[in-house]
Amino acid sequence: MKYSRLVVLTTMLGLACSVTIAQTSNKLNGKAVSCASVDKNSTADKAFDGKQNTYFWSNQRKFGWVGLELPEKCVITKVGYCPAAERERMFLGVIEGANSPDFMDAIPIYMIQETPTAGMHYADVSCSRGFKYVRFVMSNHYTGNNGYSAQGDTVRCKVSELEFYGYASEGDDSKLFQLTKLPTVTIHTVNEKDILNKEDWVDGTISIISDNGKEFYSDALQIKGRGNASWGFAKKPYKIKLANKVKLLGMPAKEKKWTFINNMGDKTLMRNLIAFEASRIFGLEYTPAARSVDVFVNGEYRGNYQLCDQVEQGDNRVNVTKMKNTDTEGDNLTGGYMIEIDAYAPDEGEQKRDKSWFYTNHNTPVTIKYPDEDDIVPQQTNYIKQYVNKVQQAVYDRKKSEIDKIFDVESFLKHFLIGEFSGNTDTYWSVYMYKDRLNDIMFTGPVWDFDIAFENDYRTYPINNKTQYLFESGGSEAAGMNTFAKNLITDYKDDLQYIWSYARANGFTKDYILSFIDNTANDIRESANLNFMRWPILNYKVHMNPRALGSFDAEVNAVKTYVSQRFDWLDKKIGIIPTGTENTEDSNTVNVYSNDGMLCVSGIENGTVSVYNDMGALIYESNNKGSIEIMLPKGVYSVLHNGNSCRILVE
């Protein structure tokens, strides 16, 4: 291996001004390494013999690979590759670099993004780290069309030739490979063990490259499957547990547990993100944090995912008091708790009933999410079970005075509005609620799981043609939740109108949400294009899809159309309380409006102005002419003048 140095001296005013040192890249040689081959005629050395009529062929059908162990660490500047006869086998294949012989610390340095033609192909590599080991990893090829079909079983890694170019160097981490503008997440498991179920943790490592390749994070982890219907897809969702607590990608919670949402049935790859943005604007106490990322598992490209909070107890998550198994009486027994109204709860089995899940007196299935089943004790289970029953019974009996003492109606109505806005058929299939210590109020939230929302469920499509709320006209729900929701939105109709009107006047606008969708689509478009190469499903109905529109942009535009119509539908259904209005009475025009917490009435020529709060109590009255200004708490007020009235929202 030869290296050359070029020294350039530039003289200005008789002085040596700069010295630039450049290193020459050469073709690298080393020891051929690989997974097991099919036979002795297709071993690793065949990928480096310079002959295009020979090839390496792996024995294993998943995570097949072949590469080089270099004599010393080298920065890779270029790769060359030549496909065997089945050229499509190199499509979406990944080149990785590592410094551990088991490739547990490997990161991608290049990905083949089209099926290569016959012969050698070359590509520049932009990665500043030096590697002792380099390899090509075969991508599994998806052969189904509905999301559930098995992946292809004839995808053994098959490579005719590989070449690596570079120079000897430790390198640095100043510029690493990032697949798209989204963060690149790489997960490797011990012995390349596959993640096969939702019960067994698999040990491994994670690396995250972000900020255009300038930021790098790595840690040990455990990983397993997650989800309900989503676990049945070929593209799997995952749950991870890091060795150390960290704020991944700057998200608010410093925690170990995180999730990877697969979005297989959501061809916009953003339905959760839109709903979470709505939740933030509505001001729910906690909205899950999420970032779109590109994911590789054991060197195989897996596609676009959402790296997201694990919904759990903790700071910047569901922030209720941490329980101990000794909290069995008095104030300590009162919290904190997190539960989920969960139609899937009975799937946990009768042996866990009345420990990790239970039925209410109205047959509603409830999972206790915190404390979890390994830590909770019978006294705690009994306490939260009784409390949930107490809340549900008060709502069923429509006792507002009792409800207001034990249940936060405002958070429930915000949750309801986000579900109705998004058209989430499963809003009442799963509902999170929580209660803290020394607080008699149970709250609703966070929102979660919007893969079949935004007009993505054939059972309720088209949503905006209905005259009833979605949950009343075909939504799926856990037993008892239809009555629970209907009673609350009926008995707290004025509160619902206020919350909707306040949000509409404070950022929750059609223009903003449509702009958010456009910006998100632009951010993820490159990643989406690769995702739908890996999972070519755009022309097929997947999961609950009512239609297949054939392209990412068409899917995004369909959501935009739905959102635009949904704003209009809900404005009409709920009614908007104005922040300003005008009443005309003969020759006297009276203007009523709000401004920074102040109720203003101008143009008064005669008569009495009376102001009532939303409980109907008279709080102000005046016979003054001209104008009046009253500082009031935010809320809805009625203004009466000479037999005319209007309602107004004061912010």
Question: Average pLDDT in the 375-379 region?
Answer: 97
Question: Average pLDDT in the 187-212 region?
Answer: 97
Pairing of strands 184-189, 290-297: parallel
* Cis ω before 462 (30° cut-off from 0): yes
525: CB partners within 8 A, 6+ apart? 552
Question: Distances in Å between the alpha carbon of 116 and those of 67, 153, 280, 561?
Answer: 19, 21, 45, 39
pLDDT tens for residues 7-58?
A: 333 333 344 433 334 578 999 999 999 999 999 999 999 999 999 999 999 9
Residue whose C-alpha is closest to residue 549's, from 559, 538, 560: 538
**570/176 Cα distance (integer angstroms):** 47
Q: Evaluate if residue 6 carries a pLDDT over 60.
A: no
pTM as predicted = 0.90
Query: What percentage of the chain reaches a pLDDT higher than 70?
Result: 94
Q: Which helix (H) or strand (E) holds 359?
A: strand 357-359
Under 8 Å between Cβ of 367 and 376: no
What are 390's two structure tokens?
Answer: 């107490």
Work out the angle between the directed axes of helices 552-574 and 271-282 (0-180°, nearest 10).
Answer: 30
Pairing of strands 158-168, 26-27: antiparallel
| Long-range pairs of 628-632 with CB within 8 A, sequence gap ≥ 24 | 628/600, 628/601, 628/604, 629/598, 629/599, 629/600, 630/598, 630/599, 630/600, 631/597, 631/598, 632/597, 632/598, 632/599
Q: Phi and psi at residue 244, in whole multiples of 5°?
A: -130, 150
Chain mean position to CA 123: 33
Q: Phi and psi at residue 295, in whole multiples of 5°?
A: -120, 135
pLDDT value for 328: 98
pLDDT tens for residues 551-607?
A: 999 999 999 999 999 999 999 999 998 877 655 444 456 888 888 888 999 888 888
pLDDT value for 625: 87
Look at residue 20 and give its three-state secondary structure: strand
